[in-house]
Amino acid sequence: MESDPTVAEARKQALRAQALELGFSVMGVAPVQPELRRAYFLQWLAEGQHAEMAWMARDPERRLDPQQVLPEARCIIACGFNYYQPEPRRRGRIAKYALGKDYHNLILKRLKQLCTTLRGWDGINRPYVDTGPLLEKPIGAAAGLGWQSKNTLVINPQQGQYLFLGMILTSVELPEDSAPRDRCGSCTRCIDICPTQAITAPYQLDARRCIAYLTIEHQGSIPLEFRRAIGDHLFGCDECLDVCPWNRWAQATREEKFAARTYPDLREMLDWTHDDFHAATAGTPIRRLKLPRWKRNICVVLGNTGDAHDLPALERAAADPDPMIAEHAHWAIQEIRNRG
């Protein structure tokens, strides 16, 4: 649309200033055909490492070619929004991104404000948060937000890894950034800490083994081989982030909507009705899980960390008409009894 380099640079600076005002910590611009680790992505899909996340395998060529999504696109704007906050101390850990309100709408609304500016420059735009047809992590790296690290997340040298990524495909021409140098070096902390060995090699993550997948996306019974390793992770897992030295200086998010909600003890939640669950989790990423899988996860955590005081609640759950809940409750009871 506009090829004058001075105008394009001025637009980018204006957009970046607006992004920062909207609460984003970082913004960069990736080429419309960025390096997307094509061979790895296709092999990852071919081996079924995306597990039940069927949408990942739908039309991979489209994912690998953003111009199939928007033929007019000339670049991709990538924004990172800090969501870090210390985890509250309680039984059953919830991944930091899910402690407060769901981020999708909040980030999308802010990307749409950037789109309004782009429209003023005659831009045709498509904003995406997580659910779109874009490979956010390699695009985020190509936009200079950071490097795609050994635990596969983008590391920003100043902000670390606790960043929600939002993308805008746009027809406006903007100066491109470039991926910073990989600074993982010889570190292997994320690989070493992973309780389920889901990081099968540096830069490779098998979703089928990842606690974030098993406790959030996975629909049915949690495979026995992973239950003990899940430990006290009730919803998601941050272990490979928490251990990363680049996250040492993460600052708490200033977004009040992400403030951690409080939840009752696991025992009490095991007796929840659907209404209780919906009331307590409304507007959070946890709501999408629905009650049966929430109770499934509670049983796993109690099986790993509970004691005799938890047995009455587990025995009630063992009589649940949902066979998945009942089976996980039986497993937990057995685990607690085995520990004596």
Residues classed as catalytic: 130
Please give the DSSP secondary-structure letter assigned to residue 160: B
Which of the residues 124 through 183 are near ligand SF4 (CB under 6 A)? 149-151
Please give the DSSP secondary-structure letter assigned to residue 58: S
Q: Tell me how far, at minimum, the Cβ of 333 lies from ligand SF4, in Å.
A: 25
**Closer residue to ligand SF4 in complex, CB, 134/199:** 199
Cα-based distances in Å from 188 to 44, 149, 191, 193? 21, 11, 5, 9
**Closer residue to ligand SF4 in complex, CB, 188/219:** 188
**Closer residue to ligand SF4 in complex, CB, 239/255:** 239
Q: Which stretch binds ligand SF4 (CB under 6 A): 17-25, 33-41, 197-205, 297-305?
A: 197-205
> Judged by CB under 6 A, which of 38, 90, 119, 189 binds ligand SF4?
189
Burial class (CB in 10 A: 0-12, 13-18, 19+), 219: exposed
**Closer residue to ligand SF4 in complex, CB, 85/156:** 156
Binding mask 259-298 for ligand SF4 (x = CB under 6 A): ----------------------------------------
Using CB under 6 A as the binding rule, whether residue 187 contacts ligand SF4 is answered as yes
> Judged by CB under 6 A, which of 78, 198, 234, 314 binds ligand SF4?
198
> Judged by CB under 6 A, which of 86, 120, 245, 264 binds ligand SF4?
245
Cα-based distances in Å from 209 to 214, 289, 296, 327? 7, 18, 17, 21
Using CB under 6 A as the binding rule, whether residue 104 contacts ligand SF4 is answered as no
Q: Tell me how far, at minimum, the Cβ of 230 lies from ligand SF4, in Å.
A: 9
Using CB under 6 A as the binding rule, whether residue 234 contacts ligand SF4 is answered as no
CB 116 within 8 A of CB 110: no
Using CB under 6 A as the binding rule, whether residue 184 contacts ligand SF4 is answered as yes
Q: Tell me how far, at minimum, the Cβ of 160 lies from ligand SF4, in Å.
A: 9
> Judged by CB under 6 A, which of 244, 300, 302, 311 binds ligand SF4?
244
Q: Which residues, in sequence order, are CB contacts of 114 under 8 Å at separation 6+?
A: 15, 18, 19, 22, 77, 79, 127, 168
**Closer residue to ligand SF4 in complex, CB, 159/170:** 159
In the chain, where does DSSP find H-type helix?
Answer: 5-21, 38-46, 54-57, 60-63, 66-69, 103-119, 136-142, 189-193, 211-212, 224-230, 239-242, 266-269, 274-281, 291-305, 311-318, 323-339
Number of residues that bind ligand SF4 (CB under 6 A): 24
CB 68 within 8 A of CB 61: yes
**Closer residue to ligand SF4 in complex, CB, 51/124:** 51
Using CB under 6 A as the binding rule, whether residue 240 contacts ligand SF4 is answered as yes
Distance CA 329, CA 315 (A): 7
The answer to whether the Cα torsion of 320, 195, 104, 162 is positive or negative is positive
Using CB under 6 A as the binding rule, whether residue 304 contacts ligand SF4 is answered as no
Max alpha carbon distance in the chain (Å)? 74
Using CB under 6 A as the binding rule, whether residue 253 contacts ligand SF4 is answered as no
Task: For tokens 């809940």, name the residue.
Answer: 325
Using CB under 6 A as the binding rule, whether residue 199 contacts ligand SF4 is answered as yes
Q: Tell me how far, at minimum, the Cβ of 205 lies from ligand SF4, in Å.
A: 6
> Judged by CB under 6 A, which of 25, 171, 196, 215 binds ligand SF4?
196
Residue type for position 34:
P
Going by their DSSP bridges, the two strands 163-170 and 199-201 should be labelled as unpaired
CB 73 within 8 A of CB 172: no
Tell me which residues touch ligand SF4 (CB under 6 A). Answer: 149-151, 184, 187-190, 194-196, 198-199, 205, 210-212, 237, 239-240, 243-246
